[in-house]
Amino acid sequence: MSKIDSNVILFILSVSKRDGQQWSLEKRYSEFDDLNTNLKKVFTNLPPLPGKTLFKLKEHVDIEKRRVGLDYYIKELLKRSDVFNSESMKQFLQLEKHAQEQVVNPPKMLGEITGFIHGLRDFYIERSQNVIFVLSSDMNVASRVDAYLTNMKMPWEKEAPPTLLAVGCLECWVKTNDENEFKYERMWNKTYPSQAICLYWDAVTSTLIVGLDEGKLNLLKVPQESQFIRYDEQADIKAHQGRVMGVFYDSINSHIHSVSEDKKYKVLDFQRQITVAELQPSQHPLTGLAADKDNRRIFVSDKGGYVHVFEITSATMGPSLAASVASQTLSPIRGIFFDPVKNYLFTAGFDQGEIGIFEVGKSGREKFTKQTASLKGKLQMREIVWSPSRGECLVGNKDGTVTVWSAKKAAPIFVIKAHNTDITKLQWYEDKHMLVTSGKEKSLKFWQLPKEWRDKKIEQQEEIQNDILQRQINIQNQQETSKKKELDSDEDDLKGWHKM
């Protein structure tokens, strides 16, 4: 099929569905270019779009070359569920008008909390008590250096000066409105002379532990009976020589577990002011810590791409190393998450974008831990959580997006543009299908994921790409004159695309 209009080159997409329904879309090259620009804001590894030219194409051979390139571009895009499910592709293909049943139910932002002192590093929401603990840090390198110099203890000073310029901050926010689930108010904040990196809240003992960039651990008691309006300083411990990357509080033994970029995994008894254990599981800086409280296990990741599994067998002897397992790509692991229901460990690789899935097994079988799957995601992944009921991984990325991965399909199915800066923390609520995200900008966002991405009857059919059997791109060239000249259909018409 061909069509000529004055001074315009049109690309016609003719789409045929399984049920025989067809529709055609007339697109100029600029619309493909706009689509590509919008997709690049969210997705990586996109197929190449035929390049722009300085002058308008006039020769049929040049138009044909562009047509072939656009054919390849669209076909490759539609192989990806995450791209097909995006708002940009939905509008481009006019799916709501012609194929409503193929449109996914998108996640919705339920609420947002703003007004934090610095960019967010970490947070924890205690839903039963309607309280949020937030760590924020100055993200500007120049201002951090200035603050470090200002707060530095000079040789002639007997004591370190008070924090004159705050680089890190702990903030406590409490829900103030029963009608608005996302209306919180800051009750207090505590400043630090270095970046606040990670935190752990133990609701049983009302203990809050903060890990700092300078290697210190700050331990606080935040009484729940006082409605979180105050905190009591308990200890300020110089535990490491490098940035603290993960903390956990063992309330049974009153032990603080911490890992650091100084390659050390330490266990401290803060009540007796002693070090219970100091371990160095590898030659690489440690990057994260996850705990299985019920089965007394600790999981530690490092920059060499290894996961180390520890058993807590004795209060006096400290953890024992049960297994060290290498990820497939051996690239730095940035995010780590443990599912106590399935006994699986999930990791997010920063440099290579590897999602690692490790089978840990039940208690007592830690030495048999093995990697069972490796998925290729975006580069520079930072956080990962897992929904066992949905069978989905949610990965936070440096570009501010959250990618939803289907374990069944082993592929991404949706991408949320959650923040404009690095994702720093994800918290998932299984019962509500709700995701909470933070970025390096000063905001915390709440997202409702649909219980079903689309109607179950549609999901039971073949993949979306198989549901669209035939797509054609026809090229029309409008000459300078208004006289219509039909192009040869053998050259301009494409055969129906094969099933993908």
Determine the Cα–Cα distance for residues 294 and 182; give it in Å rounded to an integer.
Answer: 31
Residue 10 confidence (pLDDT) above 90: no
User: Given pLDDT bands bounded at 50, 70 and 90, which one contains residue 56?
Assistant: confident
* pLDDT tens by residue, 277-319: 999 999 999 999 999 999 999 999 999 999 999 999 877 778 9
Pick the range with the lowest mean pLDDT from 32-36, 103-107, 176-180, 220-224: 176-180
pLDDT for the residue 101: 80
Across 217-232, average pLDDT: 93
Whether the pLDDT of residue 32 is over 90: the answer is yes
Torsion sign, CA atoms 81, 86, 92, 96: positive
Residue 341's identity, in one-letter code, is V
Split at pLDDT 50, 70, 90, the class of 276 is: very high
User: What angle separates helix 29-40 from helix 60-77, to the nearest 10 degrees?
Assistant: 30
Work out the average pLDDT over 201-205.
95
List the beta bridge partners of residue 113. 444
CB atoms within 10 A of CB 450: 13
Mean pLDDT score across all residues of the chain: 85
Higher pLDDT, 18 or 250: 250
Q: How much is the pTM?
A: 0.84
**In contact, 427 and 125? CB cutoff 8 Å:** yes
Instruction: Tell me the mean pLDDT in the region 160-178.
Output: 80
Adjacent-strand bridge partners of 477: 9
Confidence label for 489 from pLDDT (cuts 50, 70 and 90): very low
- What's residue 157's pLDDT? 53
Average pLDDT of the segment spanning 415-426 = 96
For residue 395, what pLDDT band results from cuts at 50, 70 and 90? very high
pLDDT of residue 325: 96
- Across the range 70-97, mean pLDDT stands at 92
Q: What is the pLDDT of residue 30?
A: 92
* pLDDT over 80 (residue 20): no
Is residue 162 very low, low, confident or very high in pLDDT (cuts 50, 70, 90)? low
Nearest 5 degrees, angle CA 276-CA 278-CA 281? 140
Backbone angles phi, psi at 247, to 5 degrees: -135, 155
* Comparison of pLDDT for 477 and 448, the residue scoring more: 448
Tokens of 75: 């076909």
CA distance 221 to 228: 10
Q: Which residue has the higher pLDDT, 485 or 464?
A: 464
153 phi and psi angles, rounded to 5 deg: -80, 120
- pLDDT of residue 405 exceeding 80, the answer is yes
Which range among 154-158, 364-368, 454-458 shows the weakest confidence by mean pLDDT? 154-158
pLDDT of the residue at 150: 57
Which range among 172-186, 193-207, 346-360, 377-391 shows the weakest confidence by mean pLDDT? Answer: 172-186
Of the ranges 134-138, 152-156, 456-460, the best mean pLDDT one: 134-138
Give pLDDT, residue 401: 96
Residue 492 — pLDDT band, cuts 50, 70, 90? very low
Q: Label residue 448 by pLDDT band (50, 70, 90).
A: very high
Q: What's phi and psi for 36, nearest 5 deg?
A: -65, -40
Q: Can you list the domains of the chain with their CATH numbers?
A: 10-102 (3.30.1520.10)
State the average pLDDT over residues 348-377.
Answer: 92
Query: Residue 82: which H helix or E strand, with range?
Result: helix 81-84
- The amino acid sitting at 407 is A
Q: What is the reported pLDDT for 494?
A: 21
Of 435, 463, 467, which is closest to residue 450 (Cα–Cα)? 435
* Other residues' Cβ atoms within 10 Å of the Cβ of residue 199: 21
Share of the chain above pLDDT 70, in %: 84
Is the distance from CB of 17 to CB of 467 less than 8 angstroms? yes
